[in-house]
Structure 1
Amino acid sequence: MNTIRILPFLLALLPVCAQAEPVSPAAKPAKPAAPTAANKPLLANQQAFLNLPEERRKEFAKQLGESQRLFQQKRVFETFDALDKTDAVFPDSPESLNLRGACYVELRSFDKAAAAFNKALLLSPENPSINFNIAEVLFVTKKWQEAHDLFGKILQSLSKGDLSLYRLAEFKILLCKKKLGLKDEALALAKKYGMDDDSPYYYFAHAAIAYDDKNLIKAEEWLAMASRIFSNPDALSAWQDTLVEYGYIKSFYGGELKDE
């Protein structure tokens, strides 16, 4: 599933660490970084990570990188093994929990995925990427009202600089509104952006309307236009996954979840 977000959190601290003088395993723990106007205070697990010897921080990055590589190759069970090694270096990692949740999503084990994502959120509160993954599990399990509300909350914290993710969240809200019977609101959202928008939103929103009108040929035409304009498959994979999750396109998984 290409809609799940893999986040940097502790790893974002590593470039700062790399600029420092090398430290030995016996070096004293780093003092808490003083907050500045430009930087928020470090969370407890971030400071604990910085307190690790440099070699352990590097080992964490290595093991997590290997976990991410295996996950991208859809080698889920090997990813679990690599994550166990990552956790052995540093256990309080939202990256590891987030990736573990993503693995459970691939296995369609949504209860375990939600548990992992919620643990990650405790370590990185209000993290939009983790919240997005939690909302995605709600969406896939057809908890439309909860998914609608959480995606709406996520929009308030997402930077519009991340246009693709912002529009994808809006598209999922549109689809939730359709399931909730808010047809007029869904149609208004479908018309929110035009063909000049730098995302696939316009084409997929109109495809969704065509699917609802039982006009499969028109829906396929809209999707074909999106494929011609956004020729990189990676740009469309999350959107295509969303249509499968919603039920417009038949999934290769056997059986469907019932709406709540």
Structure 2
Amino acid sequence: MMGNLSLYFLLLVTSTQQVAPHDNLNATLWMSHAAEYRMIVLEIYAAAQRSLDAALADPTWHAALEQGEDSTALPPAIIVDIDETVLDNTPYQARLVRENATYSSASWHQWVMQARARALPGAKAFLQYAAGRGVRVFYITNRNAQDEEATRRNLVSEGLPLVEEEDTVLTRHEREEWGSDKASRRAYVAQRYRILLLLGDDLNDFVSGARSGSPADRLSLARRHEDAWGSKWFLFPNPTYGSWEGALYDFEYQRPTWEKRIEKRRYLDRLPPE
């Protein structure tokens, strides 16, 4: 009996020692298992649907800063980000945690090619509602152009609306001028459609300049458009990654994890921006 107990505790200690700490453990678990996260996402989609109804009733309504002055005669559209806005990639994040790994373009491409991401709660119902009301749904994503076919397969498998008559999945580098800043792609859509709503999980999904500057600079940028948040712009929570994190270490993504962690910890000793 004593021998069995000793073996049990030895295995317990050994397994505990093998569980390496990972910066994204809690964030990934919150997004994948917390009731609070699910309810927040459902609340956002419900609010967006109410705003969509109001927007369709107002011919002067538009949401994009890139929209021209007179867009009343243009057909309606909405722009949504894909990752952590309509598709849930927490299985990819969970894999990184289990393997004590960090994001890489190779591992991300491998995940995207599997086309297995599930739709976020409420995404299918909202997007189908918009399409049913004659609103064109555009997906502006910073997935690479090489991943567009797999992305389309994933969207279709989750019942999210696509059309055959035009390209509504606008990926990074699909055109030479379409870089990580999404403003050029929003402008492209705004030439032919009246953009009613913007939905995303990153400040970059709404306004140019979000991928530079300090956290205080980014907050100032967001506050310039306070009237849009919650009425025309709908922001989804994402604590696992984003330009909010890059701002903590000057967007120097190539730095090793330990250096990034040092820069992050320095912010713990600072008052949050007012």
Give the TM-score normalised by the residue count of structure 2.
Answer: 0.30
Whichever structure has more strand as a proportion of its residues is 2
Higher relative contact order by CA 8 Å / sep ≥ 6: 1 or 2?
Answer: 2
